[in-house]
Structure 1
């Protein structure tokens, strides 16, 4: 199951804004970027919706794994994890999160990846 529309972050302008201005938290297998969101960068139909929770995105390049099936499996894993951890957190409303996996992350155990994601969320003050 994908993230609810309220939690998903989409759009090139949003990603560029995150890459330029976000605070970065580095781990061995991933980088977490966090930023207070800018509603003007969202699609027009989403701009007027109240922010009930944070918006999240997961980026996994072909350098992580060359097969799209494996990249999509990892993306679904992180989306479900973020949904269970952050969906009910109203204090994070309006925050944007971007998780970028680094090359070699597909070789790690899923539990190790989720533990690192959890520690990055804690270091970012989102726990």
Structure 2
């Protein structure tokens, strides 16, 4: 079984941990939070594969766009970009990421979003 390089992060305990004890990188369009993962906060069936993956979460609120279609499009774009980015990296296992979009992201071009995402990853020390 081939495991994906990134898996979705979910659950309020995981998000609370990211908000409490993460390093924050601010951009004009988004905010990146990075923390070391804690497998004890995950469901029991996910704990055994935690060491082999990097978990990511995206937060795109109604303030970014009232239309769910637009929010989902942004979410798919960034999830795919992060997945491709972390497939090339094997040394980031156990990292948790939270990427929150700001309202200005709705008017931005996709290339501008991806460039800022890459620059935040570089500032956080997660670049290639």
Q: What TM-score results when the alignment is normalised by the length of structure 2?
A: 0.92
1:67-82 equivalent positions in 2, closer than 5 A = 67-82=67-82
1:56 is aligned to 2:56 = yes
Q: RMSD between aligned alpha carbons?
A: 1.4
1:116-127 equivalent positions in 2, closer than 5 A = 116-127=116-127
1:99 match: 99
- The total of aligned residue pairs comes to 124
Q: Tell me the alpha carbon deviations over residues 57-82 of structure 1, each in whole angstroms, 9 at most, x when there is no partner.
A: 11100000010110000000000000
1:26 is aligned to 2:34 = no
- 116-125 vs 11-20, which deviates more? 11-20
1:16 is aligned to 2:16 = yes
Asked if structure 2 preserves the Cα contact closer than 8 Å seen for 1:30 and 1:102, the reply is yes
State how far apart, in whole Å, the 2-side matches of 1:68 and 1:31 are: 20
Aligned CA distance change for structure 1 residues 86 and 57 (closer, same or farther; 3 Å):
same
SS at match of 1:80: helix
Structure 1 runs (4+) greater than 3 angstroms displaced = none
Stretches of structure 1 that go unaligned for 5 or more consecutive residues are none
Stretches of structure 2 that go unaligned for 5 or more consecutive residues are none
Asked if structure 1 preserves the Cα contact closer than 8 Å seen for 2:32 and 2:120, the reply is yes
1:83 match: 83
